[in-house]
Amino acid sequence: MGLFSGDNSDWRIGIAFSGGGARCMAHLGVLKALEDADIRPQVMAGTSMGAIIGALYAKGVSIETMLNEIEKINFVGMLRRLRLRSKTGLMSLDHFRNLLGKYLSNSDFKALGIPFYISVANLNTGKNEIFNSGPLIDLLLASASIPILFETVKINDQHYVDGGLFNNLPVNVIRDECDMVIGVHVNEIQSIHNLKSIGYTIDRIVSLSVYQNVLQSRQLCDVFIEPKNARRYPIFAFSKTREIYELGYDAGCEAVPRIIQLMEENPVRRRLNRFFKKRR
């Protein structure tokens, strides 16, 4: 029995997941908390690892199955197989392609049980692109292709990389489709006192740059979830999958009362939203 005794089937709830590598295991925790409260998304969007998790969930892959698969990822082993011959990146995406192929083989967007959108960055045009059709696995790999580290993904003669470059929390693409939008961001930005190293400084600069588009997306959310301390985990800390998952579960449980409150207090807003959408 979930926490929510009402019926949210008449609410069109959307969830957008940010990128963040292993930190995205917190998304699974949030999804579990929502499931426990009988709250189910009707539309989803994601960037990078958030897109991979969202697509697998939309396909019906269980949270426990995803946890088991992802915690097996051996990033150190991947580093040993650097493809220095690649012109567009140091590492192959073959490991992730094999993982996705296991559950999404021969699948396209129509095979997903929930409408789903993927954010990618087009290096040729320098623009963010959103897809809800096309080669699903290739687009997921493109969205998760961290520039320079991973090779780009070529689709229709265009080179694509991590969607977080331009839109790391793609709330905007589902806002008009939903009565309520939940945004889940796993890269919390806090004030710091010292820049510990060159690597830390570079990471800080990149993070602050990406966070600017997240701030815009946050304004479009009805509920914004940002698991505490997820940021302390490196993006390839897949061995810490369960720990990060628990952070997401705690954050999701904290957000559930607010979500339920919005559903119970705003039936009029929902009806007005649908009325005006029909008139467009």
**3 pLDDT band (50/70/90 cuts)?**
very low
Residues 99-114 have pLDDT tens digits of 999 999 888 999 999 9
pLDDT of residue 4: 43
Q: CA 142, CA 136: separation in Å to the nearest integer?
A: 10
pLDDT at 1 > cutoff 70: no
How many CB atoms are located within 10 Å of the residue 212 CB?
A: 9
Kind of pairing between the strands at 13-17 and 43-47: parallel
Once rounded to an integer, what is the mean pLDDT over residues 82-90?
A: 66
Among 42-51, 68-77, 129-138, 238-247, which stretch is predicted with the lowest mean pLDDT?
68-77
Q: CA 212, CA 237: separation in Å to the nearest integer?
A: 24
Cβ-contact 255, 223 below 8 angstroms: yes
**198 pLDDT band (50/70/90 cuts)?**
confident
The domain made up of 13-270 has a fold known as Cytosolic phospholipase A2 catalytic domain (3.40.1090)
The domain locations on the chain are 13-270
Mean pLDDT (the chain, rounded): 88
Query: End-to-end alpha-carbon separation of the chain, Å?
Result: 39
Once rounded to an integer, what is the mean pLDDT over residues 157-175?
A: 96
pLDDT of residue 210: 77
pLDDT at 74 > cutoff 90: no
Residues 9-68 have pLDDT tens digits of 578 999 999 999 999 999 999 999 999 999 999 999 999 999 999 999 999 999 999 999
Q: How far from the centroid of its chain's Cα atoms is residue 26's Cα?
A: 10
Q: Kindly state the tokens that stand for 11.
A: 């609410």
Higher pLDDT, 36 or 76: 36
pLDDT of residue 6: 44
Among 127-141, 206-220, 265-279, which stretch is predicted with the lowest mean pLDDT?
265-279
Once rounded to an integer, what is the mean pLDDT over residues 157-182?
A: 96
Hey, CA dihedral for 17, 93, 61, 2, is it positive or negative?
A: negative
Among left, alpha and beta (phi > 0; psi -120 to 50; other), residue 134 is left
Q: CA 179, CA 4: separation in Å to the nearest integer?
A: 18
pLDDT at 5 > cutoff 50: no
Once rounded to an integer, what is the mean pLDDT over residues 177-197?
A: 86
Among 124-133, 161-170, 187-196, which stretch is predicted with the lowest mean pLDDT?
187-196
- For the whole prediction, is pTM greater than 0.75? yes
